[in-house]
Structure 1
């Protein structure tokens, strides 16, 4: 028995099999992204990624249904993030207040998801992502999933109203992140962009708050 197998697992923590699976996802995704950054997304066949990761092509597709998912894996944990923020918020905090605070915290940490990160590796990854049409299209599918889960978390008597609210919130987060990334890509530092990014986020969430119903805002 290995040390990892014999180590007690904390309640709610992933088991050994799940941890191995997560490591596999990470290793294959990183190998793929390195190749895509070196040669270009369209010029690297999936078979080459599988060879670099030392797995078979069928095994790769068991982990990643599409070639695009090899890149978008980095966003996989964020698909349900907005929903988690809403469902785990303090009882007296509104969903929109919780989401705004979470986004502002992300700006403070320079979380790449907010677009406010000038680390060279993150900048290269974002150029790959936003410079590849098929990746952008796949990213929209991830965001659609985010809207669905957020709408479910918002709840209410009218599912359409919840979905409309979720769509507006996810769109605002996307637009804010894209504006931050646009300025970073143009050569500004994260520290230079940060004050404007905070002001823009507060303004955008203020506009959401004035337009959404009391229940969701």
Structure 2
């Protein structure tokens, strides 16, 4: 198969992922996650139920597909950091930049569609449980980027970092969900991120040499 045909097939596949996920999320937001069946999603997306399951092994993945691009984000930041920049410094700058951009992954986003999505996610126990599987894969990718030669130490470090990023995002989301704006939370979010990375540097995490 030529590279052109392979690339076209991959683009069509990604378009299907996104289209079906968007259809499902729209239905879940309107009626509730537990009140919409996979068969109904498949019918609305005009695909068969077996085809849907080839793309999304579990119903929860229809929602969490939006996190798929972020699974290896921390790993990519570490792997792509400039010479002389430590893994933690690279991750700190990336997170602070995300706060400034109101990146939904940081929890600091009060755009109505994002708020609705987060309420769906955090208000559905099965989605929260499934999210931990995504975070586990994020930890594994980050561990490989930190130091593939020392797997246990790297996994411990990655676990700490991913947990810190999750807690920071959840705290930002909690305050916005309670009624504060992203602008009101931003200053405290930056301060909390600074504190978190200082704690990591102070003993909870030792960057691998090099």
* Normalised TM-score (structure 2): 0.94
Gapped regions of structure 1 (runs ≥ 5): 1-8
Q: Within 2, Cα distance between the matches of 1:157 and 1:58? A: 41
RMSD: 1.4
**Where do 1:58-77 residues align within 5 Å?**
58-77=50-69
Q: Within 1, Cα distance between the matches of 2:173 and 2:209? A: 28
Q: Within 2, Cα distance between the matches of 1:204 and 1:37? A: 33
Deviation at 1:142, TM superposition (A): 0.3
CA contact (8 A) 2:96 2:190 kept: yes
CA contact (8 A) 2:88 2:207 kept: no
* Equivalent position of 1:116 in the other structure: 108
Q: 2:163 aligns with which of 150, 171, 184?
A: 171
Q: 1:206 aligns with which of 191, 194, 198?
A: 198
Question: What are the Cα deviations for residues 50-107 of structure 1, in whole angstroms up to 9, with x where unaligned?
Answer: 0110110011011101000000000000000010101110011000000011101110
CA contact (8 A) 1:115 1:178 kept: yes
Q: 2:80 aligns with which of 88, 113, 117?
A: 88
Q: 1:16 aligns with which of 8, 21, 42?
A: 8
**Cα distance change of structure 1 residues 31 and 156 upon mapping to structure 2, 3 Å threshold:** closer
The residue matched to 1:15 in structure 2 has which SS?
helix
Deviation at 1:15, TM superposition (A): 1.8
Gapped regions of structure 2 (runs ≥ 5): none
Q: 1:33 aligns with which of 25, 49, 58?
A: 25
Deviation at 1:20, TM superposition (A): 1.1
Q: Within 2, Cα distance between the matches of 1:143 and 1:204? A: 18
CA contact (8 A) 2:86 2:207 kept: no
The residue matched to 2:121 in structure 1 has which SS?
helix
* Equivalent position of 1:130 in the other structure: 122
Q: Within 2, Cα distance between the matches of 1:216 and 1:205? A: 18
The residue matched to 1:187 in structure 2 has which SS?
coil
Deviation at 1:216, TM superposition (A): 6.7
* Normalised TM-score (structure 1): 0.91
**Cα distance change of structure 1 residues 60 and 214 upon mapping to structure 2, 3 Å threshold:** closer
**Cα distance change of structure 1 residues 216 and 143 upon mapping to structure 2, 3 Å threshold:** farther
Deviation at 1:26, TM superposition (A): 0.7
